[in-house]
Amino acid sequence: MARREDNNKRGRDREEDNEFIDKLVHINRVAKTVKGGRNMSFAALVVVGDEKGRVGFGKGKAREVPEAIRKATEVAKKSMIRVPLREGRTLHHDCKGRHGAGKVILRAAPPGTGVIAGGPMRAVLETLGVQDVVTKSQGTSNPYNMVRATFDALKRQESPRMIAAKRGKKVGDLVGRRQDGASAPDAAVADA
């Protein structure tokens, strides 16, 4: 009976895993020097997302690569964040993020642009579900810092609905204000 329960649990784990997409960003062989020589192990950086606005990253370290990747994936699933996407394909506004010497700039893009990003940033944005974005990275190209800087920028993303809730207004008031404000100077010129 215990075996059936274990099999059912494993089946549920597989179903949960199917909703997430994980990408290995970087793997590093590290060595610890001890009295008897060097102890080799592997460090893995993994990004996990559901392609619907949730994404997370994690680090894992073990003697073997598959075990390091498994550990990193578990950590990534626990540290997921939700990012609002416009039309389910791009960001709401441009934003900057930084971590250490790594700086990134993320810009919203029109349909058909694609993901214009390199290396670690591309992995984060693809697992997030962004289809159109233009990015720029400055400073270090260290994958750990680039992933953290990208997450810093994504945490700053706010949808019009979130801003309206903070201000205690309706979304239409915020969006309509920009259009009304742009037409006001034209009306003043027409009256003169």
**Distances 161 to 101, 108, 140, 164, 170 between C-alpha atoms, Å:** 33, 17, 35, 5, 8
3-state secondary structure of 26: strand
pLDDT in tens, the chain (192 residues): 444 444 444 444 444 556 899 999 999 999 999 999 999 999 999 999 999 999 999 999 999 999 999 999 999 999 999 999 998 889 999 999 999 999 999 999 999 999 999 889 999 999 999 999 999 999 999 999 999 999 999 999 998 889 889 888 888 887 765 444 454 444 444 444
Instruction: Pick the closest to residue 47 from 65, 67, 20 (CA basis).
Output: 20
Strands 115-116, 133-139: pairing is: parallel
- Which token pair is 171? 């979304």
CB 153 within 8 A of CB 86: no
Place of tokens 């073990």: 62
What's residue 187's pLDDT? Answer: 45
Domains of the chain plus CATH, in order, are 2-81 (3.30.160.20), 83-172 (3.30.230.10)
Q: How far apart are the first and last CA of the chain?
A: 87
pTM: 0.79
CB 106 within 8 A of CB 135: yes
Place of tokens 């006001």: 184
